Structure 1
Amino acid sequence: MTIGHGQHPSSVVTLKSVHDFDTTITRIKTALDGVGAIVFADVDQREAAGLAGLDLRRTRLILFGNPKAGTPIMAANPHSALELPLRLVVWEDDTGHTHVDYRDVSQTLGPLYAIAPELLAPLQRMTGLLQNTVQ
């Protein structure tokens, strides 16, 4: 069975990578480092599933951020910390294609947490960065 993209919130950006799974991970980490972002965690969800005796397609959750961008947002509204650090998921479908899902929190932090647009500007660049990374 081929995995479709399924239903997801409009704030989730799904990108298909032209690179294999491992190369996509490496390119993302390099790009994040290049813009001063810190990778706080890289969770191999397939490995975790295997430890529970379950199968899961190759799936990695990456938590990342830049305190220079995130701290002013959390200072403006402490509840916004639920959305930070940023995260993305790299996953492989049944045909071997790699995808990157990223929740564009700049779309949710403004309307849901009343964060000023100027504080969101650094986060709005993330989608373009990821698009360039998977091409």
Structure 2
Amino acid sequence: MTGPGMITVASPWSVEATADRLEAALTGAGLLVFARIDHAGNAARAGMELRPTELLIFGHPKGGTPLMRDRQTSGLDLPVKALAWQDETGRTWLTCNDARWLADRHGLGAGSEQALEAVESGLSRLVEQAVAP
């Protein structure tokens, strides 16, 4: 369904509710939500159709800065992003980048391991909260 380096989980909620729940989990955990982009709303304003699709961009300097100090190119994929989207059958999904893919893509070294583990476990926990029934 999705490509390499992505983690996708099903959500029992609508796209909007999934994004709302994720945003609440993120802010509750002390993370910063830098942007929330309603791709479907933007498409509609351009006179185009798109199934519900919302992108959240979030993070915290304590998590991302060590990765960027290791390899500044990791800033291309930071802050972290999560996409809530609806497929052609009406099912809702939540997709985010796999932290290990980020490490491989940017050649992050052993010094980034602790930060990567924190991103990986934190993101997993927050995604679970967002899609929990």
TM-score, normalized by the shorter chain, greater than 0.5? yes
Q: TM-score, normalised by structure 2?
A: 0.86
Matched residues in 2 for 1:103 and 1:28: separation? 15
Q: How does 1:1-135 map to 2 (within 5 A)?
A: 5=1, 7-9=2-4, 11-104=5-98, 106-115=99-108, 116-125=112-121, 126-135=123-132
Identity %: 33
When residues 22 and 112 of structure 1 are mapped into structure 2, their CA distance, relative to the original with a 3 A threshold, is closer
Matched residues in 2 for 1:76 and 1:132: separation? 30
How far 1:51 moved relative to its partner? 2.0
Residue by residue, what CA displacement relative to the aligned partner does 1:24-77 show, whole Å, maximum 9, x if unpaired? 122101111122211111011011111222100011111111111001111121
Q: TM-score, normalised by structure 1?
A: 0.85
Give the letter for the 1:31 counterpart.
Answer: A
SS in 1 for 2:8: strand
- Contact 2:36–2:57, Cα closer than 8 Å, also in 1: yes
Give the letter for the 2:102 counterpart.
Answer: L
SS in 1 for 2:50: coil
- List, as ranges, runs of 4+ consecutive aligned residues in structure 1 with deviation greater than 3 Å: none
Give the letter for the 2:126 counterpart.
Answer: L
SS in 2 for 1:129: helix
What residue ranges of structure 2 are gaps of 5+ in the alignment? none
- Aligned residue pairs, count: 128
Backbone CA RMSD of aligned residues: 1.6
